[in-house]
Structure 1
Amino acid sequence: MDRRKSLKSIVLGSVAGGLAIHGCKPSTEGAVLVEAPKITYPGRVPLETELINELQDEQFLNPHELETLTILCDLILPPSDEFKGASDADVVGFIEFMCKDQETLQPDIRGGLMWLDHKCNTENGVEFKGATQEQQKAILDEIAFYDPEIPGNERPFEVNFFSTVRNLTMTGFYTSKIGIEEIGYKGNMPNVWDGVPEDVLEQHGVSYDEEWLAKCVDQSKRGVIAEWDEDGNLLT
């Protein structure tokens, strides 16, 4: 299994990565607030739509944090000649939204980005976003994996931070239009069903109503989308 396929499996993992640090909502002083357009979301009730638009109007990450996170996400899921990368699916926008929707993520994401800059400044004399890709990867290699079998090797904050961002990156990408197309998911597709086999019906002493059978097990209409009237009666 190659690295890309391995990362896809993380989509089903826990987004929070076991982190539950509670704190006051961090200040967004200095952040550039861009008012998002009001959008009506299909399948959402009015209350949900109102909440989503309220969150879109808020800004959590400042420009420096957004730039750093963009680099980090593209290192986790880089583009290639065959596949798109994290930035192509606006994964950072997804993480920004999740931080506003689940405020317990905010200290972890902001603290982790601060840790990256401090670590990189200490070792390379530059902020994380200004380092070379080799320097950036060297730092990430130290926190990308955790071996609980090593005696005294407690899971540190920075490992949890990277795990959280990695999970959010994969979740954001593979639930986007680009990611869904990459997986090849087509959604629910009609198939051929001829009903319960006759021998099984006989075993249980039941049979199909001919009118119902003609309406529901007619393969000539398998491409027709069912419609109901206001009273719930099947029309087609």
Structure 2
Amino acid sequence: MKRRDSLKAISISSLGLAVGPVEAAVPEPPEPKPAVKLLPGRQKFEAERDMKLLTATEKFFTAAELQTVTILGDIIVPADARSGSASQAGVPAFIEFMMRDQPRNQTPIRGGLRWLDRKCVSRYGNPFAKCTKEQQIDMVEQIAYPEKVAPDMTQGAAFFTMMRNFVLGGFYSSKMGIEDLGYVGNTPNQWNGVPDDVLKQYGLSYDEPKK
């Protein structure tokens, strides 16, 4: 039963109504499938795969893993005067999508999340998401710079580098991230002519020639 139909059934039962045998025997019309939009340069099978990924209900990350991903994202791209944080730009959902789009990254990301929790438990007594903000930053600083990590932190450094790439890729391809970059694309602008200092440099002028 679809979620919409479940809510409908709950509403009917709460009003003390019942569905008669005739109504119950009428089959539901099939749920219309979302149309596959074929964008320029995309093959039909590519568009169908995109639609399947976008409409999938099964998630890769557990709730605990997604919480850690969200915290890491906001440490990598925190909110500032220019824009919001990674989570405010929807980066966790982007990384969730990328895990399904590129399954080869699932094992290193999940393995890295587990490594992070185990290391935090051994050092601070709690998994990463339950550590204090100071402890979280302390751990991140130990794995954020691959050329400086201790020998027992190399796995964490490799994981953090991958996570940082996903976070930055997600943030700077979002509407918020693009605005943060100041990129306007093919936006019409106002042409006011060659600047005066350039005209002066070449002995030129917009003045009408004297007759």
Q: Tell me the TM-score normalised to structure 2 length.
A: 0.65
Whole-Å Cα distance in 2 between the matches of residues 71 and 102 of structure 1?
A: 22
Given that 1:76 and 1:166 are in contact with CA atoms closer than 8 Å, whether structure 2 keeps it comes out as yes
Question: How far has the Cα of 1:172 moved from its partner?
Answer: 0.4
Candidates 141, 166, 169, aligned match of 1:168: 166
Whole-Å Cα distance in 2 between the matches of residues 135 and 107 of structure 1?
A: 26
User: Pairwise mapping of residues 27-38 of structure 1 onto structure 2 (< 5 A)?
Assistant: 38=34
Gaps of 5+ in 1: 1-36, 193-236
Gaps of 5+ in 2: 1-32, 192-211
* Residue 100 of structure 2 corresponds to residue 83 of structure 1: no
Question: How far has the Cα of 1:38 moved from its partner?
Answer: 4.7
Q: One-letter code of the match for 1:176?
A: S
CA separation of 1:170/1:121 partners in 2, compared to 1, >3 Å: closer, same or farther?
same
Q: One-letter code of the match for 1:136?
A: Q
Q: Deviations over 1:128-150 (max 9, x none)?
A: 111111100111111100227x9
Greater Cα radius of gyration, structure 1 or 2: 2
Corresponding residue of 1:64: 64
Given that 1:89 and 1:173 are in contact with CA atoms closer than 8 Å, whether structure 2 keeps it comes out as yes
CA separation of 1:38/1:139 partners in 2, compared to 1, >3 Å: closer, same or farther?
farther
Corresponding residue of 1:49: 47
Q: Deviations over 1:74-128 (max 9, x none)?
A: 1111112332110111111111111111111001110111111111111111111
Q: One-letter code of the match for 2:141?
A: D
Corresponding residue of 1:184: 182
Question: How far has the Cα of 1:48 moved from its partner?
Answer: 2.7
Whole-Å Cα distance in 2 between the matches of residues 73 and 38 of structure 1?
A: 32
Identity of aligned residues (%): 41
Whole-Å Cα distance in 1 between the matches of residues 159 and 75 of structure 2?
A: 15
Q: One-letter code of the match for 1:132?
A: T
Whole-Å Cα distance in 2 between the matches of residues 81 and 183 of structure 1?
A: 13
Question: How far has the Cα of 1:46 moved from its partner?
Answer: 3.9
Tell me whether 77-86 or 67-76 shows the greater mean CA deviation: 77-86
Corresponding residue of 2:108: 108
SS of the equivalent of 1:156 reads helix
Q: Tell me the TM-score normalised to structure 1 length.
A: 0.58
Given that 1:147 and 1:153 are in contact with CA atoms closer than 8 Å, whether structure 2 keeps it comes out as no
CA separation of 1:45/1:103 partners in 2, compared to 1, >3 Å: closer, same or farther?
same
Whole-Å Cα distance in 2 between the matches of residues 96 and 50 of structure 1?
A: 19
Whole-Å Cα distance in 1 between the matches of residues 115 and 140 of structure 2?
A: 11
User: Pairwise mapping of residues 17-36 of structure 1 onto structure 2 (< 5 A)?
Assistant: none
Whole-Å Cα distance in 1 between the matches of residues 174 and 36 of structure 2?
A: 18
Question: How far has the Cα of 1:50 moved from its partner?
Answer: 1.8
Corresponding residue of 2:14: none
CA separation of 1:189/1:61 partners in 2, compared to 1, >3 Å: closer, same or farther?
same
Q: One-letter code of the match for 2:160?
A: F
Given that 1:74 and 1:87 are in contact with CA atoms closer than 8 Å, whether structure 2 keeps it comes out as yes
Higher relative contact order structure (alpha carbons within 8 Å, sequence separation ≥ 6): 1
Corresponding residue of 2:125: 125
CA separation of 1:49/1:183 partners in 2, compared to 1, >3 Å: closer, same or farther?
same
Given that 1:116 and 1:128 are in contact with CA atoms closer than 8 Å, whether structure 2 keeps it comes out as yes
The structure with the greater share of residues assigned to helix is 2
Q: Deviations over 1:210-235 (max 9, x none)?
A: xxxxxxxxxxxxxxxxxxxxxxxxxx
Question: How far has the Cα of 1:54 moved from its partner?
Answer: 1.6
